[in-house]
Amino acid sequence: MRIIFHIDVNSAFLSWSAIKIMEEGGEDIRLVPSAVGGDRDKRTGIITAKSIPAKKYGITTGEPVSMALRKCPNLILVKGDFAQYKKCSKAFMDICRKYTPTLQVFSIDECFLDMSGTDDIYSDYMALAHKIKDEIKNTLGFTVNVGIGSNKLLAKMASDFEKPDRVHTLFDNEVKQKLWPLPVGDLIFVGKKSAQILTRAGIMTIGDLAQCDLKVVQMLLGEKSGQQAWEYARGIDDSPVTAIHEDPKGYSVSTTLEEDVTTMEQAKGILLALCDSVATRMRADNAKAFCVHVDIRYSKIADINGLTASSRFTNKSHQRSLENATDVTDEIYKTCVELLSEFWHQEPLRLMGVALSNLTKDDYEQFSLFQDESREKSKKMDALTDTLRNKFGTDVIFRGGAANTHHVGMKFKK
């Protein structure tokens, strides 16, 4: 039988911020209502992580800072520090790697360990999980949850059970008891929209989904998504734990806006913040993109020719292929502005996104007889910005045009 561990840092960004604050002589913000993200004075941005005491006030990840402060006026807010997060992530992964060479990084704060076939070394997997968990806590000062299962799906679902600082199992013979009673929306990769479709059809729990006819589920969610959701509800997952790093196929970032955007001036500021973010991440991987995409979503209350946007269309996207691959923020931003002006007619927007695809790590560029001085200045500015952010955190510097949108809540994909 396969033995898979899923190790997930509890409230990672908040815990890692707390570690640094305590190292500098401050209090442990994990013990009081606190959160990472946004700007208290401007009341902008979103909550990206929260403490357990903050959760008791009903504060949720992804909600606007302004709403969180209404729930808890004394909420402590700290800014994100990605240099600190990378440091803590590496330290936690290094401890995990001591126990198996087959480790798959799933995100900055979680990983899978394949412990199959190590019975001669580790005879008691529960004891081993507690050992890893306690070593991380005692050495690094933050806690993790460990889920143990017979595949990656079950191990990940197990690690989401009671938190923090816990070890849970979810094996095949425990699926009906531990997994099936949970709400269908708790199943991994069943998003909010899919959960609403399923519950409207009377499929309320994961057990309901597992016992439903596959064809009915596919009719509700689509053939591929329905098949996956139905198999996951039954605990079926044969995907391997792979320690091989796979280069990303693309980079993207999007933001759901607190207020509708209706002018190009507003849109440009948000586009610049998005381009700055996604280009920075791509440069960190030494990649460049041949294709730039802009995505928008109309506000549900927008009225277009007498029809609401939601009844006519929701999302629109435009893309452009470039002659030379680029990682220069200004070039990506200029392309995005051109794309947006071609297909957006200033209807109210609720979401904006930027994506980069068709990647390369080749430095080849088509030769030009004339050196582009502005491009060289832009590249130097990018290099300086990246250096400062890596050293002092992402909030140390931002581009002037994006000043009013610096704390926009962004969702990243890679």
User: From start to end of 273-348, where are the E strands?
Assistant: 288-298, 303-304, 307-308, 315-326
In the residue annotation, 110 being an active-site residue is answered as yes
What single DSSP character describes residue 205?
Answer: B
Of 55, 1, 5, which Cα lies nearest the Cα of 158?
5
Report the SS3 class of residue 51.
coil
Check if the beta carbon of residue 155 is closer than 8 Å to that of residue 2: no
114: which strand partners? 4
23, 27, 110, 338: the active-site residue: 110
Of 60, 49, 404, 413, which Cα lies nearest the Cα of 257?
404
Check if the beta carbon of residue 209 is closer than 8 Å to that of residue 175: no
User: From start to end of 40-198, where are the E strands?
Assistant: 49-50, 76-78, 103-107, 110-114, 144-149, 167-170
Please give the Cα distance from 289 to 359 (Å, whole number).
4
Q: Which residues are catalytic?
A: 110
